[in-house]
């Protein structure tokens, strides 16, 4: 596996590092060494997402207990949307952990990620890292491991998400598709075992969060967690990846599992929605793909550096907002 921090591979869709040089001769390879992650900020940001997730869930439980199940069930759609949104935000910190940007020491980074973030997401930091790195190396080609942008921004996708079909498809993709480690190393079976244990652990946690309130007769919050998890969270995840990587003019009828899509990267706004829909710097996804080793806590410095290089215009080309990208992709879907 290519290193995700020090030695820099040329990633699909990223400019060659040797060409990222400022007008006064500072090279990216030198400058990036100064961009040390702000670990405390990353954990503060993740803690905020946890507070939003469990604070609102506790509030929904309290309202249901005091006002009854009718009020609790009326609040369920809003609560499910909220739970799905913050689960999706937390998942972006788990992704940051896979890039080793949550602690200075890699072992400590992995331990913290595995205990504090991945338990909600049916993976381990190592199993995800092996697969995710192929997304960086193979973005847009037929070996890309993250394939949500193969989907068209069509009402059919919303239906698949809201019925939980998308979650089943993604879990199937994660569990059944042979991972690079499984094909190339003796640790493949250990990695498969870790993955199955992670799925069981996640099933237990979410199962308890749904079953305990349900068994106590607190139905609204139990249903909200279930819908937030199986429908809203995968819907946000799939949509985000499409916004990041799907070409605006990609026709719905093209099967990108057979025809190469090509590498497209975008980055989005800094408003409050974008900062949490694209949490942990995922709203600056183009920068992340240009150098996946850089912590999102240093993206402002990275962006300022690129502004001083010949790639400033290319970086600006990829800039949009989530709303503009949704609207453009929807227009293509309806036309094709
Ligand atoms: Zn990506
Ligand atoms: Zn990544």
Name the closest ligand to CA 296: 2
Tell me which residues have their CB within 5 A of the ion that is ligand 2. 292
Distance 122 CA to ligand 2 centre (A): 17
Of the pLDDT bands very low, low, confident and very high (cuts 50, 70, 90), residue 10 is low
Give the per-residue pLDDT at 6.
Answer: 39
Query: Considering every ligand atom, which ligand is closest to the CA of 139?
Result: 1
C-alpha 244 to ligand 1 mean position (Å): 7
Domain residue ranges in the chain: 17-335
**Cα–ligand 1 centroid distance for 311 (angstroms):** 19
Please tell me the distance between residue 216's alpha carbon and the centre of ligand 1 in angstroms.
41
How close is the Cα of 334 to the center of ligand 2, in Å? Answer: 30
Ligand closest to the CA atom of residue 240: 1
Q: How far is the CA of 262 from the centre of ligand 1 (A)?
A: 12
Averaged pLDDT for residues 264-279: 96
Weakest mean pLDDT among 94-108, 123-137, 160-174, 205-219: 160-174
User: What's the gap in Å between 52 CA and the centre of ligand 2?
Assistant: 24
- Say how many Å lie between the CA of residue 99 and the centre of ligand 2: 7
- From residue 174, give the alpha-carbon distance in Å to each of 192, 215, 251: 10, 31, 26
CA distance readout (Å), 7 to 11, 25, 100: 12, 21, 14
What confidence category does residue 333 fall into, taking pLDDT thresholds of 50, 70 and 90?
A: confident
Q: Where are the alpha helices (DSSP H) in the chain?
A: 28-31, 39-67, 69-74, 76-98, 106-116, 125-137, 155-162, 165-176, 180-184, 188-215, 219-227, 233-245, 272-277, 285-290, 299-307, 312-317, 322-335
- pLDDT for 5 beyond 60: no
| Cα Rg of the chain, angstroms | 20
pLDDT tens digits for range 278-304: 999 999 999 999 999 999 999 999 999
- pLDDT band, very low/low/confident/very high, at 174 (cuts 50, 70, 90): low
Taking only the tens place, the pLDDT of each residue in 44-77 is: 999 999 999 999 999 999 999 999 999 999 999 9
| Per-residue pLDDT reduced to its tens digit, 84-118 | 999 999 999 999 999 999 999 999 999 999 999 99
pTM above 0.95, yes or no: no
Ligand nearest to the CA of 147: 1
- Ligand nearest to the Cα of 245, by number: 1
Residue 192 pLDDT level (bands cut at 50, 70, 90):
confident
Could you say which ligand is closest to the alpha carbon of residue 100?
2
Q: What tens digit of pLDDT does each residue of 237-260 get?
A: 999 999 999 999 999 899 999 999
299-308: per-residue pLDDT in tens? Answer: 999 999 999 9
- Token pair, residue 49, equals 């997402």
Residue 270 alpha carbon to ligand 2 centre in Å: 19
Give Cα separations from 81 to 18, 129, 157, 235 (angstroms): 44, 28, 17, 10
Residue 178 has pLDDT above 60, yes or no: no
CA of 42 to the centre of ligand 1 (A): 19
CA of 285 to the centre of ligand 1 (A): 7
Please give the Cα distance from 3 to 83 (Å, whole number).
34
CA of 289 from ligand 1 middle (Å) equals 6
Q: Tell how far the Cα of 269 is from the centroid of ligand 2, in angstroms.
A: 19
189 C-alpha to ligand 2 centroid (Å): 24
Residue 180 has pLDDT above 90, yes or no: no
272 close to 84: Cβ distance less than 8 angstroms: no
Ligand 2 centre to CA of 97 (Å) is 9
pLDDT reported for residue 177: 61
Instruction: Tell me: pLDDT of 1 over 50.
Output: no
């Amino acid at each position: 596996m290519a290193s995700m921090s020090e030695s820099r591979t040329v990633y699909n869709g990223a400019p060659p590092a040797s060409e990222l040089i400022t007008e006064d001769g500072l090279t990216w390879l030198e400058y990036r060494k100064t961009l040390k992650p702000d670990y405390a900020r990353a954990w503060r940001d993740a803690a905020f997402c946890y507070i939003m997730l469990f604070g609102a869930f506790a509030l929904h439980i309290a309202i249901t207990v005091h006002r009854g199940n009718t009020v609790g069930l009326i609040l369920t759609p809003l609560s499910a949307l909220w739970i799905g949104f913050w689960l999706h935000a937390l998942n972006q910190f788990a992704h940051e952990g896979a890039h080793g940007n949550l602690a200075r020491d890699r072992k400590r980074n992995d331990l913290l990620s595995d205990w504090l973030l991945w338990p909600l997401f049916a993976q381990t930091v190592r199993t995800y890292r092996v697969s995710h790195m192929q997304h960086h190396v193979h973005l847009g080609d037929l070996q890309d491991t993250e394939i949500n942008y193969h989907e068209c921004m069509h009402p059919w996708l919303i239906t698949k998400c809201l019925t939980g079909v998308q979650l089943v498809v993604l879990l199937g993709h994660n569990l059944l598709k042979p991972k690079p480690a499984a094909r190339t190393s003796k640790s493949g079976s250990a990695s498969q075992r870790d993955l199955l244990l992670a799925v069981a652990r996640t099933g237990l946690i979410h199962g308890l969060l749904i079953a305990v309130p349900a068994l106590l007769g607190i139905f609204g919050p139990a249903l909200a967690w279930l819908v937030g998890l199986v429908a809203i969270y995968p819907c946000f995840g799939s949509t985000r990846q499409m916004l990041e990587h799907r070409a605006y003019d990609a026709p719905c009828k093209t099967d990108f599992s057979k025809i190469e899509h090509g590498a497209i990267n975008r980055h989005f706004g800094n408003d409050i929605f974008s900062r949490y829909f694209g949490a942990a710097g995922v709203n600056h996804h183009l920068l992340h793909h240009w150098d996946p080793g850089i912590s999102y806590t240093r993206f402002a410095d990275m962006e300022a550096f690129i502004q001083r290089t010949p790639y400033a215009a290319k970086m600006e080309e990829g800039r949009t907002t989530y709303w503009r990208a949704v609207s453009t992709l929807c227009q293509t879907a309806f036309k094709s």
